[in-house]
């Protein structure tokens, strides 16, 4: 008996030359094996159906590159309960290294232009506003306590404060 022929007979899909072997095809086969529609996956993962179709058909020019693409494949693989590390290795082999180098001060300054700046500045923290509100509340509470007679006369050093108590 010839063992390789038995293996081929038992698993004909392994040697099928028409079967695509890329990341997108793998994800599509996994999705179909779980009997999920593209709409279900799109709704669950919050990806557009165009992005999902572009990934499954491996149209890399219609997808973001670098880390966003890796995150896209990672989330899709997790949802399908696949080996995420193997999918990312397949992606790197197919598209090239998708890891993004950390920006340095030199290349960040060179790549940023006026159009990259936000239109509005960051919202200013206003700790003084809270400070003023607290001070006003303390003054109101103090005058209320004086008017009610809760403050001893010995604490009232100004005559106008003593006139409030009466």
What is the CATH number for 61?
Answer: 1.10.260.40
With the C-alpha atoms ordered 94, 96, 102, 107, is the resulting torsion angle positive or negative?
Answer: negative
Question: pLDDT tens digits, residue range 112-157?
Answer: 666 666 666 666 666 788 889 999 999 999 989 988 888 888 888 8
pLDDT tens track for 77-121: 898 888 888 888 888 888 876 554 555 555 555 566 666 666 666
Q: Which token pair is 75?
A: 């989330």
pTM (two decimals): 0.49
Among 55, 94, 97, which residue's Cα sits nearest to residue 77? 55
147 close to 166: Cβ distance less than 8 angstroms: no
For residue 76, give its domain range. Answer: 18-95
Sign of CA dihedral 67, 73, 76, 77: negative
Residue where a domain stops, chosen among 49, 70, 95? 95
Predicted confidence at residue 166, as pLDDT, reads 62
pLDDT of 9 reads 43
Per the document, the length of the chain is: 166
Domain boundary among 38, 72, 95: 95
């Amino acid at each position: 008996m010839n063992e390789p022929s038995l293996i081929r007979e038992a698993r004909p899909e392994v040697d099928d030359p028409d079967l695509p072997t890329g990341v997108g095809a793998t994800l599509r086969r996994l999705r179909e094996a779980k009997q999920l529609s593209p709409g279900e996956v799109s709704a669950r993962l919050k990806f557009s159906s165009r992005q999902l179709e572009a990934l499954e058909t491996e149209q890399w020019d219609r997808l973001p590159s670098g880390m966003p693409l890796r995150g896209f494949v990672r989330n899709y693989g997790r949802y399908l309960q696949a080996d995420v590390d193997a999918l990312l290795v397949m992606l790197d082999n197919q598209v090239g290294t998708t890891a993004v180098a950390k920006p340095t001060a030199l290349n960040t300054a060179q790549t940023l232009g006026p159009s990259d700046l936000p239109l509005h500045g960051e919202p200013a923290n206003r700790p003084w506003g809270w400070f003023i509100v607290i001070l006003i509340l303390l003054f109101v509470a103090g005058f209320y306590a004086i008017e009610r007679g809760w403050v001893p006369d010995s604490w009232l050093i100004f005559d106008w404060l003593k006139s409030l108590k009466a």
